Amino acid sequence: MPHPVALITGAAHRLGAHTAETLHARGWNVVIHYRGRQQQARALADKLNQQRPESAVCYHADLTDMNQLRQLAEQACAQWGQLNALVNNASVFYPNPTEDASEQDWDTILGANLKAPFFLLQQCLPALKAASGSVVNMIDIYSEKPLKDHPLYCASKAGLAALTRSWAKDLAPDVRVNGVSPGAILWPEGESAADAAHQQAILDKTPLARTGNPADIAGAIAYLVCDAPFITGQILSVDGGRSLNM
């Protein structure tokens, strides 16, 4: 019986890489998408192929370029002749107060976080339907209670949450669609010691009083993909309870 296949966007590092490793450990073949981290993507694919030959590949695409997005979908679906899961993990995150935001900011953030998942699913849909597959979208707790000075990011994730629920209705019973909404798991790259007070303030609002770890998110995604055949249209908050106190 062939191994099931998952396409994971933004899978060269951080949460995407952990998700690829977790699904791979459960017997999946993985298509590792990357935009700028070629070396990390290839290293991850090599690592997984050493564990199980011909079980991982990596493909480059700028998901805001429709031609590259279509090519990625074609490559992913053709690699092993099937596609059982799509994990829309790739996203863009940076502050842009309303008074300073540009049209380019809009196109960059909404393009990566909302437009790309929509059209990637559209391109992968025939293969997902054929496999009775599933989709997991990476949402964010800020989709419900916005983060100051991040209006476009919050809007993009709120839109992705709405797409998750819409797709769950529209694509049933052929394809299940769910989301995972992380809280404090990994701090944004580039944060300095000056951000320590902000980080502590977040932890003070988290009932479990600590950050999570990437395995918490990867495990939640694996659960929704592998172990939840009667769950669709749900967004699972993995946030240590923080959404209770935002």
In total, the chain counts a number of residues equal to 246
- What is residue 60's three-state secondary structure? strand
CA pair distance 85, 241, nearest whole angstrom: 28
CA dihedral 72, 74, 78, 83 (to 10 degrees): 80
CA pair distance 176, 154, nearest whole angstrom: 24
Known catalytic membership, residue 153: yes
Q: How far is CA 177 from CA 13, 30, 124, 136, 138, in A?
A: 24, 19, 13, 6, 11
- Exactly one of 34, 59, 142, 153 is catalytic; which is it? 153
CA pair distance 185, 240, nearest whole angstrom: 9
219: burial class by Cβ within 10 Å (0-12, 13-18, 19+)? Answer: middle
- What is residue 196's three-state secondary structure? helix
Q: What sign has the CA pseudo-torsion 239, 243, 245, 246?
A: positive
Residue 204's region, left for phi above 0, alpha for psi from -120 to 50, else beta, is alpha
Nearest to 28 by CA among 218, 180, 226, 178: 226
Q: Which residues have a catalytic role annotated?
A: 153
